[in-house]
A and B are shown apart, each in its own frame.
Chain A
Amino acid sequence: MPKTHVTMKVNGSEVEGLAEPRTLLVHFLREQAQLTGTHIGCETSHCGACTIDIDGMSVKSCTMLAVQANGSDITTIEGMANADGSLSALQEGFRMMHGLQCGFCTPGMILRAHRLLKENPSPTEAEIRAGISGNICRCTGYQNIVKAIQYAAAKINGVEFQEAAE
């Protein structure tokens, strides 16, 4: 099948490669860009493990073609740490609040939470729950994920967060 040359900015670096018209963006990222932090859990757009950030939007990369992402600006989990390599507020929040267990949903969950907090810097619990409802977690029951996002929001907003992980 003929291939198309695609170029995109991923975590601040130019990535280019050849993709078939049918190549899913998630496969392009995982297999050509070697960024395996983005996961695949269902391939029907339900689970959100493949969620990345594209041009300021949360996108499930199993439901977008690599050619559609040509020229776009992408952030994946590999681009979420602070510039000095330390954990970002969200990454730290997930660890401090025990917001992950097997870790498989975590990259998608963090990327979704990242966009959610950009859109709504101080979400209520209900807004967080609705905001991550496109992402399935099988391990945590979400309660500590909600706290992880609250922790990050507080840290980003410079206010104190005292809730302990349950």
Chain B
Amino acid sequence: MNDMTPTREQREAALEGMGCKRKRVEDIRFTQGKGNYVDDVKLPGMLHGDFVRSPHAHARVKAIHTEEALKVPGVLAVITAETLKTVNLAWMPTLAGDVQMVLADGKVLFQNQEVAFVVATDRYAADDGVAKVVVEYEALPVLVDPFKAMDADAPVLREDLAGKTSGAHGPRKHHNHVFEWAIGDKDLTDAAFAKADVTIKEMISYHRTHPSPLETCQCVCSFDKIKGELTIWGTFQAPHVIRTVVALIAKIPEHKIHVIAPDIGGGFGNKVGAYPGYICAAVASIVTGKPVKWVEDRIENLTATSFARDYHMTTELAATKEGKVTGLRVHVLADHGAFDACADPSKWPAGFFNIVTGSYDFPVAHCVVDGIYTNKAPGGVAYRCSFRVTEAAYCIERAMDILAQKLGMDPADLRLKNFVKTEQFPYHSALGWEYDSGDYHTAMRKMMEAVDYAGLRKEQAEKRAAFKRGETRDIMGIGVSFFTEIVGAGPSKNCDILGIAMFDSCEIRLHPTGAGIARVGSKSQGQGHETTWAQIIATEIGIPADNIMVEEGNTDTAPYGLGTYGSRSTPVAGAAIAMAARKIKAKAQMIAAYKLEVHEDDLEWDIDGFRVKGLPEKVMSMKDICWAAYNSVPPGMEPGLEAVSYYDPPNMTYPFGAYLCVMDIDVDTGVYKVRRFYALDDCGTRINPMIIEGQIHGGLTEAFAIAMGQEIRYDAEGNVVTGSFMDFFMPTAVETPHWETDFTVTPSPHHPIGAKGVGESPNVGGVPAFSNAVNDAFAFLGSTHIQMPHDFWRNWQAAKSLGVLA
């Protein structure tokens, strides 16, 4: 063999395909300050818009005086609800089937609600104008406590819904009620509880928090009056959905709306929905004839543009005395704030909360979610989460620990005893899902071995004894978490957004010289799609990843896709990419057969091209096939080499993992130290292990933040008291623990490449691991459940309430 002929290994490596720790192509521009984020977009004559916001959480708007603002140099217009009514945009539909005020229409319902939009020549002048708008308010009684929302004498928040006894998701039973969502078999569940040896009941709250990506929400809208076309650059996780929403509500033909999501500085669910800023900037551009930029500041982001969680879950488990679970009952009070602006698939008012049976074989379960209105910001976005899966995982993982405590069992043993067994997959859960695959016992045992679980429990027992003897003031907690996610929304049979099925898409076009472009309906916000999508194509069709350009985010060029959130990109768009690549490969095989003068069936795939079976020297590389596609295709075949795939997944995917946190807490100060955090993830086939690890580090850090302090908190008057990075916990490199990662691989049986999605797993599994560690630390002092977030002060309070402080 010629020395210059590359070996199979060299050919394989040259592709940088799946499984390779390919360095990211995005980083070349990002490390040089050459990213193109929305605030970097600058157009000739561009104006800036800024909001007048309500200081009140609930008040009637008596009058808005704009005269003085309009005298401010540079201020060109002040838009109010009255202006918006002329174009029928004072209110907008939410993704959850509710309506939301774009600008205050008669009243305000949460602090920092948008009241007026000042448009000026630059951002400073816009701010000056905001300061000069005078709004007369008449304060109204404020509703903050979700548990008082449905009291008979609770204030009426949504006067626009007066007399409406049903909403988008069925009957409403109170003026502050949004929906009731019930699932499972109530009678069978009640019967299981009636005959259970052991039951537990606990109200487990998952507090309100916020995704808070480092880049806030922003847009630039430019309306061309001559062409009647609107172009929007925006921080959009789902640009095509934004285009369709704009077409539906602004009555501009969809082909005349161009939505461009350029580089995005993190999303974490914050950038899925449509916000008043987008509508106001678009209307301002139509009114002024100039491009208008709107850039949210951090306080606005934390207080007005969506929130996450705020689920109050009364959870009951039934079990035998040996520790076999026999039933699960959950009632959730879901605080949706002033408008139901959840970004869930349309038919799922509580998202996929019915994954709450977790990794365990519950014969029966029943779950009811009541959504309610309060005087808080609207939203309910999935913060690094697939639609309420984080809430569900926290609920069941905390409840399993509480049950273990009551039974006197080790929490790991209780889990092992109740896991869905490998041979039960595909597994039909009591609340209606079909888990595609899993190997929970292997993952759990691998984790327990890796951390020397038995050794840790022994050490803890010794520490507890020492504490009781007064020899230490530190308590040690071991937090076990085993989660099952449901991601990859989703199959058209059960998932849509505003009627659009939640497929995703890819178009691949190969050029004559063996390079190409892939356009995809997903939209990276840091996940590295430009790198990983090319890796899938490289493995599928043997063109080096470096020769594939990946493009997302431009609705004029990308095929229609539902965007990136809910860990759906790899399960759905990733599948579309593989399927489009396979269409190309099928055509390539016909071309190769023609050129090699053999029958197609006589060819076999070999890394980067086809070879004739039994004649390994008779080959045609994909590079050569690309050239042939443009000059000598078989008679009757169209030239060119491109394909489009729209992929409607047959099922969700079900990533899982086993996490463990070891924490020490000083009871006298409440100061905690995370001594160790181990995360084993199974996301099926691994496309780029480097990026997977990066996703896990990031998700664990967000989980750490949420569990240990990150909260959007309101006082009794509805003032946000954690509205900036001063008070909203944002861990730095100093607080953030060291992460140990590990994995098993259980491919998804229905996904073309077996991948399941990973971005959200660490947040889903991380929060219960931290919270269980804190709760486990205090358990031997007589505590059953301490609510999150577990900051120093709350830890100290817990110690105090347990009587262990001097």
A63 CA to B670 CA, complexed, in Å: 33
Which B residues touch A141, using CB under 8 A? 697-701, 736, 739
Known: A35-B33, A77-B32, A146-B733. A140 touches B264 (CB 8 A): no
Beta-carbon contact of A138 and B698 below 8 Å:
yes
* 25 A-B interface contacts by CB (under 8 A): A31-B42, A39-B39, A42-B724, A47-B298, A80-B31, A80-B33, A92-B31, A96-B23, A101-B528, A101-B694, A102-B263, A102-B265, A103-B26, A103-B35, A110-B31, A129-B732, A136-B732, A138-B266, A141-B697, A141-B736, A141-B739, A144-B697, A145-B733, A165-B690, A166-B690
Beta-carbon contact of B37 and A39 below 8 Å:
yes
Chain A residue nearest to B691 in the complex (CB)? A98
Kindly state whether residue B213 has any CB partner on chain A within 8 Å.
yes
Known: A36-B33, A132-B733, A140-B694. A103 touches B265 (CB 8 A): yes
Beta-carbon contact of A138 and B212 below 8 Å:
yes
Smallest CB–CB gap between B571 and chain A, Å?
20
Interface size for B (C-beta < 8 A) is: 57
Kindly state whether residue A37 has any CB partner on chain B within 8 Å.
yes
Kindly state whether residue A44 has any CB partner on chain B within 8 Å.
yes
Kindly state whether residue B806 has any CB partner on chain A within 8 Å.
no
Kindly state whether residue B322 has any CB partner on chain A within 8 Å.
no
The 10 closest A-B CB pairs, nearest first, are: A37-B33, A102-B526, A104-B265, A103-B30, A77-B33, A141-B697, A46-B725, A141-B701, A101-B526, A91-B31
Which B residues touch A77, using CB under 8 A? 31-33
Beta-carbon contact of B734 and A139 below 8 Å:
no
Which A residues touch B526, using CB under 8 A? 101-104, 139
Beta-carbon contact of A165 and B21 below 8 Å:
yes
Tell me what chain A mostly uses at the interface: helix, strand, loop, or mixed: loop
Beta-carbon contact of B40 and A36 below 8 Å:
yes
Chain A residue nearest to B696 in the complex (CB)? A141
A80 CA to B33 CA, complexed, in Å: 9
A145 CA to B31 CA, complexed, in Å: 12
Which A residues touch B187, using CB under 8 A? none
Beta-carbon contact of A87 and B32 below 8 Å:
yes
Kindly state whether residue A95 has any CB partner on chain B within 8 Å.
yes
Kindly state whether residue B406 has any CB partner on chain A within 8 Å.
no
Chain B residue nearest to A31 in the complex (CB)? B42
Kindly state whether residue A153 has any CB partner on chain B within 8 Å.
no
Chain A 26-38 against B: per-residue CB contact (8 Å), 1 yes, 0 no?
0100110001111
Chain B 678-708 against A: per-residue CB contact (8 Å), 1 yes, 0 no?
0000000000001101110111111000000
Kindly state whether residue A59 has any CB partner on chain B within 8 Å.
no
Given contacts A129-B733, A130-B734, A144-B694, 17 further A-B contacts (CB under 8 A): A35-B33, A37-B32, A41-B216, A41-B298, A47-B730, A87-B28, A95-B28, A98-B694, A103-B30, A103-B31, A104-B266, A128-B733, A133-B734, A137-B733, A138-B266, A146-B733, A166-B694
A95 CA to B741 CA, complexed, in Å: 20
A71 CA to B701 CA, complexed, in Å: 40
Which A residues touch B263, using CB under 8 A? 102-103
Beta-carbon contact of A102 and B266 below 8 Å:
yes
Which A residues touch B244, using CB under 8 A? none
Which A residues touch B27, using CB under 8 A? 94-95, 100, 103
A77 CA to B124 CA, complexed, in Å: 25
Kindly state whether residue A143 has any CB partner on chain B within 8 Å.
yes
Chain A 118-152 against B: per-residue CB contact (8 Å), 1 yes, 0 no?
00000000001110111111111111111000000
Kindly state whether residue B34 has any CB partner on chain A within 8 Å.
yes
Chain B residue nearest to A108 in the complex (CB)? B214
A38 CA to B21 CA, complexed, in Å: 29
A129 CA to B732 CA, complexed, in Å: 8
Which A residues touch B297, using CB under 8 A? 43
Chain A residue nearest to B32 in the complex (CB)? A81
Kindly state whether residue A16 has any CB partner on chain B within 8 Å.
no
Chain A residue nearest to B41 in the complex (CB)? A36
Kindly state whether residue A49 has any CB partner on chain B within 8 Å.
yes
Which B residues touch A37, using CB under 8 A? 32-35
Beta-carbon contact of B214 and A44 below 8 Å:
no
